[in-house]
Structure 1
Amino acid sequence: MSSPVLDKNGRAMCLAAMVQTTPSTDTMPKSVRVCSDPDSAIQVAQFIVAEMKTNPFCAEGLRITEYNRFDQQEEVRRWRALPWYSRLGGMPDFQSQARAAKSAAYTLWAERAGPGRPWDHKPHIAALMKRQGLFNKGWHKYAQYEYFYDIWSNIHYGYVGLAIGFTAAELIIGAGLAQIGDDAVHLRRGQHHAENGPWPASADDVQDHTSIQLGIDMYLVKKPQALTVDFILQQISAVPMPWGLPPEGLHAKEEHQCGRMR
């Protein structure tokens, strides 16, 4: 069995593989850089996967699911199937009931997932990383890349939102409208990113839109019972850089530079 590679303090280090490879015919000795920076994104992935597996089945998640299940056409069908004497009072206003159910779903979703609310995970992730001295202004490493910490809550938004009965369109539109409101409150110029799709999706930050769509796509492939940390790490690894706008703009993924403190 080979011995581990140790740093100057005697700690075991792992090799950070790079995308460049050496042709098999090249026999010249090469120096290999070994990175001892921790894959701190794994801890964040463990935290967010626990949230994504649990929140669809918490009390609030189940209530939102129930509101979203209200089907006006199904209610009409059931009413028409009742005995004649049960229909003497006339058909209930199922349309108003459907609007009320959807409004209740949106209201409770905003209470859970809005800024500073329980499913806005940035403060929790920041506290987790700061306790270990690994916050690094919100950036953390996995393999050869670094990720910005706001991707996780947006992935949760798309994944859990779909799990509790919202459509992908509702989630994307809702995120765009929320960004429009946030930009207005902070007197920022409105955004237009055609790559996100038509308005209001185009008004959202590109990296946020990408993260939400990733969460939606993940739910279609892996339901909560089957969701794993390895799976989410594979998914973020597959997102191409810069995960947003080019490096001079807002983005969420960069190549890792060993020892970099921001």
Structure 2
Amino acid sequence: MPSADKPGALARLRAALPGLSGTERRVADWILAQPEPLLEASMLDVARACEVSDTTVLRMCRNSDFAGFTDLKLALARDLATPMQLIHDDITDEDDPPTIANKVFTRAMRSLQDTVEVIDPAVFSAAFELFDSARTVLVGGVGTSGVVGQAFYQRCRRLGIGCDAPQDSQVQNINAALLGPGDLVVAISFSGETRTIVAMAQRARTAGAAVIAVTGNRESHLAKAADVVLQSVSHETRNEPVAARLCQLSLLDALCVAYSHRHLDDALVREQRAGQAIVESSY
């Protein structure tokens, strides 16, 4: 079911066909002929099936009015979904409110468990060392990822970490360009193809800063622009992937807890001061 303001995925692919190159059209024709398998395929799977490069697959996506491969898959999932799936993937017409609550929590727990299982200890350790040694931390994200970024910013401030998380994407990019060696960017985008966040990561790397990407797409432009990738796992059809947000929050919370563990005395003092401020401001 396409959105009201944009044609569905299949319609956009068909409309783009005349302007695609020969290899790009081969990819589009493959998807149009069998759209369902794409939902479980990686970009590399599609490239191999069509005997093209993964760059060709990505170029086809962008020339067909998609932000990237993940955007195509999400749009296609919405095309093929029932109206009920657009609300939540697991619920049915017969479910009562308690059953719905159970299914929402079950899906969230499944996403968290899947995310835990893909954490590479060496990669997480590398991300933590970058975080622990950073002179300053710049956090970037828009939309629901921006909400995650603001929560992470608050945790960093309570830990005494020099951190900035401007909500304006242009300011995010300006600040990234002004970073240098020893600084860190934490770039958050579930699709990994949010243009302003990718640009922010690329500018930070050019300036000499390190980049941690928090994304659900290891093949994305954001992942390729990062020093370290922390992957969140969530399979949601709806436009607002809430389970993905929970996984992103948990990954970043794990960094903060690890930081507190290493700097325990200072962290406890700061938590006490923050707690006292909360108590006094509630009178």
TM-score of the two chains, using structure 1 as the length reference: 0.29
Q: Which has more radius of gyration?
A: 1
More helix by share: 2
TM-score of the two chains, using structure 2 as the length reference: 0.27
